[in-house]
Amino acid sequence: MPEKIRLSNVDDPELRAALRALTSVDRLMRMKPAQDLERVYGRTPTLKALRAALTDARAALVDGLKPDTTGLALINDARRRLRLRFVPTLQPTLNATGIVIHPHLGRAVLSEAAEKAIVEAASHYITLEYDLNEGRRASRLRHAEALLKEITGAEAALIVNNNAAAGLLALSALAKGREVIVSRGQLVEVSGGFNIPRLMRQCRAQLVEVGATNRTRIGDYERGITRQTAALMRVHNTNFRLVGAAEAAPLEQMARLAHGHGLWCFDDLGSGALLDTAALGLVHEPTVQESIAAEADLTWFSGDKLLGGPQCGILVGRSELIDKLRRHPLIRALRADKLTIAALTATLDHYRRGEANTHIPIWRIMSRRVPDLQRTVERWLLILKARVPDLNADITPTRSTVNGGVLMSETLPSVALAVQVNEPDSLLMRLRRLELPIIARIEEDKVLFDPRTVFEHQEQALIDGICAALVASDM
């Protein structure tokens, strides 16, 4: 804060006159442009911004500068301050990275039906826990959980906040004070320090590591069983891959072994695909249905990865186990809220109708083929060249990443618009500063725009944004 300036301490008569002539906050507030600001930003923030503009003008005068001290100039200054202060931190972006499930851009984008379900659930009283026939309370598990049973064939299901919460609940409720056997090849760290050994400790379950990093056979699990064992657990490697001499005991064998000893078999599936990714030319991702067919007793996965729904964790499996989870005190802290339930129910409805491929955005995005992407980029290039004559750009083959933030993620063939500029990093920055920020990436010193993750309704904004960012840059 600049020190308060006292007129009595100012010697220079000219400066004294200038300071005395400076307008006041009250006078500024009576001007129409200030009243407009008040309507947009509220009275207190507007007063604060005007006061700050006046303080700075006063300090500039004292410093011997000649600031514009007209009312309009001061209000414009206040407007700049208010704009900066009110820039939302959470805003839509245009994802031109080609990363389908982008961990920093909110993972899966929801379907139109899921969006509508969220809006309706948010703005109405809804039958979350109310039976219209009986006119009384009903279970909130009738919605998404009922659909999950229908789609996957599971006996029971439960929705919590995310997959980490699913693991926390399952292990706390079913393995506290007991042993859980996990292959040394599956002690996965997801991100942010969330890993299986820490989760086990948090749940007061004893982790028993068996096998070797690259190889764990069913006999290794068998030798790990003691009187303290509660379960055998598989953790799916969603973010790394063992190549070369690698082997993991199949889930069926683990389940059979577990059941033969009166134990449970758990499966942390991670991504939780309900459809076969091999149909898109990707590596086959184990599906929820396969986990159930292998007779895992409890399987959990994320709702906002390959399922294409809202952030949540989904547990499916035997009724006996799901019932224990429902009765556990943690469930009250971990259960999903009504907006999540609404969005997930609408997302699952696409699977029930057999329209997931065409209606769920991430599946539609992953299904896009190169010729279709090529046509899109050609269209962009044509329009851009007409608008920016000295544009240095071409079309280049590239690969879109399915799971962002994951080094060994699966990729899909794509083509991208490649723009060459002197300073690609500063172009990326200008793209990020647009009203609808564009997130792109650099490959071989070119700025790449992958059409796979750009929605049709965003194309105009993309072209306008690229033009604006290029014009402001040194090409």
Ligand X SMILES: *Cc1c(COP(=O)(O)O)cnc(C)c1O
Binding site for ligand X (CB under 6 A): 162-164, 188, 190, 235-236, 238, 268, 270-271, 302, 313
Please give the Cα distance from 9 to 16 (Å, whole number): 9
Please identify, using beta-carbon distances, which residue of 238 and 376 lies nearer to ligand X.
238
Spell out a b/e string for 336-365, using b for 16 or more CB atoms within 10 Å of the CB, else e.
beeebbbbbbbbbbbbeeeebeebbbbbbb
Beta carbons of 266 and 298 less than 8 angstroms apart: yes
Please identify, using beta-carbon distances, which residue of 161 and 453 lies nearer to ligand X.
161
Please identify, using beta-carbon distances, which residue of 46 and 311 lies nearer to ligand X.
311
3-state secondary structure 413-474: EEEEEEECCCCHHHHHHHHHCCCCCEECEEECCEEEECHHHCCHHHHHHHHHHHHHHHHCCC
Q: What residues have CB less than 8 Å from 292, skipping those under 6 apart?
A: 152, 153, 154, 299, 316, 317
Alpha-carbon radius of gyration of the chain: 29
Please identify, using beta-carbon distances, which residue of 289 and 302 lies nearer to ligand X.
302
Closest distance of CB 144 from ligand X, Å? 15
Closest distance of CB 268 from ligand X, Å? 5
Closest distance of CB 296 from ligand X, Å? 14
Closest distance of CB 472 from ligand X, Å? 37
Please give the Cα distance from 436 to 381 (Å, whole number): 20
Q: Token digits for 81?
A: 């301050």
Please identify, using beta-carbon distances, which residue of 235 and 288 lies nearer to ligand X.
235
Angle at 270 between CA 266 and CA 275, to 5 degrees: 100
Please identify, using beta-carbon distances, which residue of 151 and 170 lies nearer to ligand X.
170
Closest distance of CB 167 from ligand X, Å? 6
Please identify, using beta-carbon distances, which residue of 340 and 400 lies nearer to ligand X.
340
Locate the DSSP E strands across 295-385: 298-302, 313-317
Would you list the DSSP string of 248-272?
Answer: E--HHHHHHHHHHTT-EEEEEEET-
Chain position whose Cβ is nearest to ligand X:
270
CA distances from 83 to 52, 55, 303 (A): 14, 18, 36
Burial class (CB in 10 A: 0-12, 13-18, 19+), 212: middle
Closest distance of CB 184 from ligand X, Å? 16
Please identify, using beta-carbon distances, which residue of 268 and 290 lies nearer to ligand X.
268
Q: What are the backbone dihedrals phi and psi of residue 337, each rounded to the nearest 5 degrees, phi first?
A: -90, 175
Beta carbons of 299 and 270 less than 8 angstroms apart: no
Closest distance of CB 397 from ligand X, Å? 29
Please identify, using beta-carbon distances, which residue of 266 and 363 lies nearer to ligand X.
266
Q: Token digits for 231?
A: 């379960």
Element (H, E) at 117: helix 112-123
Closest distance of CB 339 from ligand X, Å? 16
Closest distance of CB 162 from ligand X, Å? 3
Closest distance of CB 343 from ligand X, Å? 15
Closest distance of CB 191 from ligand X, Å? 8
Please identify, using beta-carbon distances, which residue of 50 and 312 lies nearer to ligand X.
312
Please identify, using beta-carbon distances, which residue of 398 and 401 lies nearer to ligand X.
401
Locate the DSSP E strands across 307-433: 313-317, 393-401, 411-419
Please identify, using beta-carbon distances, which residue of 270 and 451 lies nearer to ligand X.
270
Task: Tell me the pairing of strands 94-95 and 438-439.
Answer: parallel
What angle separates helix 71-86 from helix 43-62, to the nearest 10 degrees? 120
Closest distance of CB 18 from ligand X, Å? 59
The number of beta carbons lying within 10 Å of the beta carbon of residue 10 is 17
CA distances from 386 to 201, 366, 395 (A): 61, 30, 16
